[in-house]
Chains A and B, each alone.
Chain A
């Protein structure tokens, strides 16, 4: 038995599982997205029509799809930088030699990640209640007008972003912390001897050394944030005026609420194409930046 065949033999179980539970369903979903599979088709397959790219075309003409896409991009554009900055900030604080009770703070800051979205959302809904919420109470103390956090279409998404960032930043913080601890202390020592300020140390040592970590965290966070669903589902149910309805929320509604599995599959593939393109763009930009750096140094 040659080496290649042995390799395939060892890979076979994994490939079989992947093929059966991943590749096959994806192909089935792709086929489904080319039909108008719905409740009537479930009852009787003669009610199924092949519509080719009809679902995609109909989606691209639906204002709700574009507004859902707009909401998702808004969430990603604001949420990802905010989330990464918060994670990095928390990681820097935890990594600082001045920090005390590190294990306690590490656990406390990581805690939101392991809590249940649904349970935490209840608390957040109370906090952001217009009339009785603690947040508006605090604003009132500062002499500011109360904000209708979850009821005003302009404020609902920022509130969701705050919630999502708070819920998720702990995870990236741990990755950043590991990245920070891997930076050789000699570099900082040398910089201090040269009289570099804290800011310049951060700018010229920490950030460049963290670049691979930043790229990975960036890609993971973007991919995760594009799939926004649970937060609006439990906080606002997509409202008010569908201002927090994301692409994935649209897919859920189409597929599981209205049982239009054809159209829902089309949403899923459009979202996949978008995320694929965006991640590829990020990788390419990062590679190009690295290349440019390599030339300049």
Chain B
């Protein structure tokens, strides 16, 4: 409240000053949308930008994650998109399908600060569709293991697991009490990220024939699903949703779970929520794969410019500013958002942060999910079917067959459009 009042005073003062002084060169107002927690942090980064670019005024709008998707599509339908926005990289294909985003290759090629080769290749790839770049990665998100090092040591394991077999042995040892109150790992049954990461570790892709059909009956996906479901069947993981899990951080602290498969923001959460005495008890490790260290998902957010924007150059200047290693390091300090470019990892608190280093390691081994607008829906179906398999309602074969059936139905429109375009191309 106080700060808002302060801003008001500053605003009024500048207003008065400007009205007295000579008229400024055409001042531009940039509409910038952020999604989720970044909105708050970015308010601390923007004053510096506005100082460097006095002709640009950034008008920031913070969208909650739950409403962002709908708001973006509604804005597109209502012709009221902002100049630029933060955008989860799994949503890029959707907005590209709508022809809503501006291709950025030209600007990237001439930029001295946005250097494509400095970025983790898989993360950069999530922003490229049909040979064009539509976004600049802003921060990355992947899934790996948080673990209680003290509990692992007590069970006789000095290092975190490297492959599934070793991981299973640890989970078995940690769940030995089997009292229904202590588990090896927390995997909320309504979150698809964990199974997605395990499925990405397989050689077979989850969709086939240029993403026309589901490929969930492949050997690879069946292996991933079997392993995932077995974690629940062995009672190493409780079959609960994240609604019931409530406060996983304090339960992790209490030793209810020894492993937690989650993303980078939880480094900050655990630092804030666990007592100081416990800070040496937990750590992070790359995700174990079927044989040796495995891949994980290439998530994260990018910065994109809308085609309808009338201030594209100014928007690009803001993207260049937010892409500087020093700014990305500040974003990490503010929120724990991990930078997508290697040079950002060379300095600041990141370089010496042991708990962040596992992510640095994992980021060299991340894989993107299929870049089609239907993907969000497909992974949702995947998790719904997986939850049925966990509950014992479907066998692995039944579940994967059902999943392929549902996914093929979802992709019907895509097949029709691709075929039509093929015919047109031939003619």
Contact = CB atoms under 8 A, between A and B. Distances in A.
Interface of A: 36, 38-40, 42-44, 47, 49, 125, 129-130, 132, 148, 150-151, 153, 235-237, 239-242, 256-259
Contact of A239 (B94, B243, B416): B243
A117 B44 CA distance: 35
B243 A42 contact: no
Contacts of A39: 73, 94, 97-98, 373
Contacts of A240: 189-190, 241, 387
B84 to A, nearest CB: 20
A42 B373 contact: no
Q: Among A36, A40, A256, find the residue whose CB has the most chain B CB atoms closer than 10 A.
A: A40
Contacts of B73: 39, 42, 259
Contacts of B239: 151
A240 B393 CA distance: 13
A150 B391 contact: no
A150 to B, nearest CB: 6
A63 B190 CA distance: 20
A236 B243 contact: yes
Given A42-B77, A240-B241, A47 B99 contact: no
A132 B97 CA distance: 46
Contact of B244 (A42, A47, A151, A242): A151
**Which bucket holds chain B's interface residue count?**
20 to 34
A39 B77 CA distance: 10
Contact of A241 (B76, B377, B388): B388
A73 B412 CA distance: 31
Given A40-B373, A130-B240, A242-B384, 10 more contacts: A38-B413, A40-B97, A42-B73, A43-B97, A150-B243, A151-B239, A240-B241, A240-B387, A241-B388, A256-B70
A241 B243 contact: no
Contact of A151 (B99, B241, B373, B417): B241
Given A40-B413, A240-B189, A125 B97 contact: no
Kindly name the residue among A132, A151, A153, A256 whose own CB sees the greatest number of chain B CB atoms within 10 A.
A151
B243 A47 contact: no
Nearest to B242: A237
B246 interface: yes
Given A38-B413, A42-B76, A256-B70, A125 B243 contact: yes
B190 A47 contact: no
Given A47-B417, A151-B241, A241 B70 contact: no
Contacts of A153: 391
A241 B97 contact: no
14 contacts: A39-B373, A40-B413, A43-B97, A49-B416, A151-B244, A235-B243, A237-B241, A237-B243, A239-B243, A240-B190, A240-B387, A241-B387, A241-B388, A242-B384
B19 to A, nearest CB: 43
Interface in B62-83: 69-70, 73, 76-77
Contacts of B393: 241
Contacts of A40: 97, 373, 413, 417
Contacts of A239: 190, 241, 243, 387
Contacts of A242: 384
A20 to B, nearest CB: 19
B246 A129 contact: yes
A256 B190 CA distance: 19
Contacts of B373: 39-40
A13 to B, nearest CB: 27
A125 B241 CA distance: 13
Interface string B94-120: 100111000000000000000000000
Interface in B381-427: 384, 387-388, 391, 393, 413, 416-417
Interface in B351-372: none
A236 B239 CA distance: 15
A148 B243 CA distance: 12
Nearest to B94: A39
Contacts of A36: 413
Contacts of B244: 129-130, 148, 150-151
A239 B380 CA distance: 12
Looking at B99, B244, B377, B416, the one whose CB has the most chain A CB atoms below 10 A away is: B244
B308 to A, nearest CB: 13
A241 B391 contact: yes
Given A129-B246, A130-B244, A151-B244, A237 B76 contact: no
Contacts of A38: 413
A239 B190 CA distance: 8
A240 B386 CA distance: 12
Contact of B377 (A150, A151, A258): A258
B418 to A, nearest CB: 11
Give the 4 A-B CB pairs with smallest separation, nearest first: A43-B98, A151-B244, A258-B377, A151-B240
A226 to B, nearest CB: 24
Nearest to B409: A58
